[in-house]
């Protein structure tokens, strides 16, 4: 099967979408202590995507493939989807809410957690797509 990475812009568009979702998650979690864990993942994802985009900007053919195969940022995106950040975050929030007696506050934190999860999962889904595309093409 011939390599189609050179002729396809799908992976570049997917990178852009990952960055957009990560930026949205970054803005939503910015300066919120309880959300710091997820915020850090958003920062790292933005940096990884920026680095990949910088590395591949002018490349094509075998050079592009070589860079993608050896990129630490691509490796980060592969590892990020395997990390269980949302479960860790949800456990942390659950522990925190156990100590609260105010049901409205517990409900509010649950709503925040749900919104974070939706934003995180959107970023994660696009990252899965990118990783699958790269694996199929490389």
- Band of pLDDT at residue 1, cut at 50, 70 and 90: very low
Give 42-76 pLDDT, tens digit per residue.
999 999 999 999 988 887 777 888 888 889 999 99
Q: Which fold has domain 10-137?
A: Butyryl-CoA Dehydrogenase, subunit A; domain 3 (1.20.140)
Of 131, 113, 122, give the one whose Cα is nearest residue 48. 131
**Total-model pTM:** 0.88
Q: Choose among 69, 21, 59: nearest CA to 41.
A: 21
Arithmetic mean of pLDDT, 82-100: 90
Question: Where do the domains of the chain lie?
Answer: 10-137
């Amino acid at each position: 099967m011939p390599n189609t990475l050179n002729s396809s812009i799908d992976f570049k568009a997917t990178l852009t979408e990952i960055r957009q979702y990560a930026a949205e998650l970054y803005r939503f979690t910015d300066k919120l202590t309880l959300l710091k864990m997820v915020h850090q993942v958003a920062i790292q994802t933005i940096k990884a995507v920026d680095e990949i985009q910088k590395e591949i900007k002018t490349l094509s053919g075998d050079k592009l493939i070589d860079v993608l195969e050896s990129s630490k940022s691509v490796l980060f995106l592969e590892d990020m989807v395997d990390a269980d950040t949302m479960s860790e975050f949800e456990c942390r929030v659950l522990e925190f809410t156990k100590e609260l007696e105010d049901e409205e506050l517990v409900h509010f934190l649950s709503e925040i957690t749900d919104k974070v999860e939706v934003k995180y999962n959107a970023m994660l889904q696009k990252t899965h797509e990118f990783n699958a595309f790269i694996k199929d093409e490389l």
